[in-house]
Every structure is written in structure tokens, then in C-alpha cells.
């Protein structure tokens, strides 16, 4: 039973490592998105497949929205 728990913890750590590793490419694709590049152009420039580009683009968008919310919350705190 302990082996299962240890393996599950290792799996969780690996999933977190993948999520952490995707932040940089997602940010780079976010910058390309800001330049109004189409997905097919991002695919051609990066060599990534279309599905990966779309997924990372969504991650970049979600990350930017989270940053905006955090900035808005910080502004509320500063004003108050």
C-alpha cells in the first residue's frame, strides 16, 4: 500500500513539473498571440503541432487573466 502512495506522490510531482515547464513556452506563445499571429503561423515558427500550440495558447491566456485579476486585487488593496 505504501508503494502505491509513494508512486502516486511521484506522479503528482511529475505532473506539477510538467505544468511548471509549460509556463515559459506558453508565455512565448502569448507574446506571439499579442502580435496577432495565426495558429498556423505559430505552428510553422515553433515546429510544435497545432494541438500543442492551441493548448499552450489557452494556458497563456488563462495565465494572463490570472495576472490581471491579481493586479486588480492588488490595486484594490492599495486604494483601500
Angle at CA of residue 23, ends 4 and 36, nearest 5°: 140
Query: Is 28 in contact with 63 (CB distance < 8 Å)?
Result: no
- Give the domain extent around 29: 2-79
pTM of the prediction? 0.62
C-alpha cell belonging to residue 61: 491566456
C-alpha cell belonging to residue 8: 502516486
Tally of structural domains, the chain:
1
pLDDT tens digits for the chain (80 residues)? 889 999 999 999 999 999 999 999 999 998 988 999 999 999 999 999 999 999 998 888 887 666 654 443 443 434 33
Question: So what's the pLDDT on residue 41?
Answer: 94
CA separation, residue 51 to residues 9, 10, 37 (Å): 28, 27, 16
Amino acid at each position: 500500500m505504501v508503494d502505491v502512495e509513494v508512486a502516486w506522490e511521484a506522479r503528482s510531482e511529475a505532473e506539477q513539473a510538467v505544468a511548471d515547464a509549460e509556463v515559459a513556452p506558453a508565455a512565448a506563445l502569448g507574446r506571439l498571440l499579442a502580435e496577432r499571429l495565426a495558429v498556423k503561423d505559430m505552428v510553422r515558427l515553433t515546429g510544435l503541432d497545432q494541438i500543442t500550440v492551441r493548448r499552450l495558447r489557452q494556458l497563456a491566456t488563462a495565465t494572463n487573466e490570472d495576472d490581471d485579476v491579481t493586479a486588480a486585487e492588488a490595486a484594490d488593496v492599495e486604494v483601500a
